[in-house]
Amino acid sequence: MASVGIDKMQLQRLELKYKITEGLALRLRDFVRSYLELDEYGVGKPNLCYPVHSLYLDSDDLRLYWDTINGNKNRFKLRLRYYNEDPDSPVFFEIKRRMNSCIMKQRGGVRRSAVEGLLSGMLPSPEHLISDNPKYLVALQNFCQRMMTLRATPKAHIAYLREAWVSHNDNSVRVTFDREVRCSKEYSADLKVSMQDPVMVFGPEVILEVKFTNRFPLWLEDMIRHFGLNITGAAKYVEGVALVGEERFNQPAYHLPQVVPVPLVEEEPASLPLELMAKFRELQRIS
């Protein structure tokens, strides 16, 4: 599991989210498996799921949380994603940006030994990374620049079990079922899989996410119509913080040095095909 997701992340995509019951999730699994294949990390696992852990960073006034609550069209989240406690497994520093309807991600896989220093304000460098690909260093630099400018520190640990289905020959379509979504306060960078007094963010509900990059297959539209899926918001960090109580997330764990903001080096979303955007809006209406 050390290399989960290194090369398969959808860098730019459209996505639809649904809250569903476990019974419906099992029916949808039977439907989806006719068109997609199980993600390799779910093969042989109980209920076809693998664990996902994220440490979310935010400012002491929870600016990133409130950007989502207020519905700002152009917003981002900062998180560290990991999958176990193996000291040799990587930790992914991720920026998840929303620009209007488009979701964009940047991330760089980092050695665990570098995490504490980076969160304390250390300048990122190539030796921190598990790959020498320049785009990962750029992603890490952008993450640290945003973190320092915002003075963001660890706030919440989000964990869940993910069942993922992907396109046979590429990653243009991805359907995931996230179960047992939990949230707890977390101000350290211990990156443990255990949690302190977690809350179940969505109760017994399963979060279905449909993600696509260049076209929307007709069978997915048929699935949405046939099963009567109703689109909804399901921001794990935001709903978790709201459930625990945002007033409880105000303990800074790191004292970051002052920095002078510098321009970020990052791509703007490419223009998506007009027919894809039209289909996306249609699906939002029928859900």
User: pLDDT tens digit string along 193-216?
Assistant: 999 899 999 999 999 999 988 778
Residue 221 lies in a domain: yes
Q: Is 71 left (phi over 0), alpha (psi -120 to 50) or beta?
A: left
Q: Please give the average per-residue pLDDT across 180-184, as a whole number.
A: 98
According to the model, what pLDDT value does residue 262 have?
A: 53
Q: Which residue has the tokens 């998506």?
A: 272
Residue 197 lies in a domain: yes
- CA 46 from chain centre, in angstroms, equals 22
According to the model, what pLDDT value does residue 194 have?
A: 97
Residue 233 lies in a domain: yes
CB 153 within 8 Å of CB 186: no
The Cα-based distances of 161 to 19, 51, 194, 271 in angstroms read 15, 5, 14, 33
Residue 234 lies in a domain: yes
CA distance 232 to 201: 15
The share of the chain scoring above pLDDT 70, in percent, equals: 83
Q: Which of 79, 82, 55 is nearest to 1 (CA)?
A: 82
Identify the weakest region by mean pLDDT among 146-155, 160-169, 263-272: 263-272
Residue 28 reports pLDDT greater than 70 = yes
**13 pLDDT tier (thresholds 50, 70, 90):** confident
* Torsion angle of the four alpha carbons 82, 154, 105, 38, in this order, in degrees rounded to the nearest 10: 30
Supply the DSSP string of 141-164, one letter for each residue: HHHHHHHHHHT-EEEEEEEEEEEE
C-alpha angle with apex 161: 204 to 91, nearest 5 degrees?
140
Identify the weakest region by mean pLDDT among 46-60, 141-155, 212-226: 212-226
C-alpha angle with apex 169: 111 to 106, nearest 5 degrees?
35
**172 pLDDT tier (thresholds 50, 70, 90):** confident
pLDDT digits (tens, 9 = 90+) for 61-88: 999 999 999 988 889 999 999 999 999 9
Residue 1 lies in a domain: no
Q: Please give the average per-residue pLDDT across 177-182, as a whole number.
A: 98
pLDDT digits (tens, 9 = 90+) for 230-284: 999 899 999 999 999 998 887 666 666 665 555 555 555 555 566 666 656 666 6
Count of structural domains, the chain: 1
Q: Which of 146, 152, 124 is nearest to 137 (CA)?
A: 124
Residue 240 lies in a domain: yes
pLDDT digits (tens, 9 = 90+) for 43-64: 999 899 999 999 999 999 999 9
User: Residue 76 belongs to a domain with what CATH number?
Assistant: 3.20.100.30
According to the model, what pLDDT value does residue 250 have?
A: 73
Domain range for 210 is 12-286
**171 pLDDT tier (thresholds 50, 70, 90):** confident
Q: Which residue has the tokens 């304390």?
A: 120
**5 pLDDT tier (thresholds 50, 70, 90):** very low
According to the model, what pLDDT value does residue 6 have?
A: 43
Residue 182 lies in a domain: yes
Residue 3 lies in a domain: no
CA distance 273 to 214: 8
pLDDT digits (tens, 9 = 90+) for 102-141: 888 899 999 999 999 999 999 999 999 999 999 999 999 9
Q: What is the pTM of this model?
A: 0.87
DSSP class of residue 186 equals -
Residue 157 reports pLDDT greater than 80 = yes
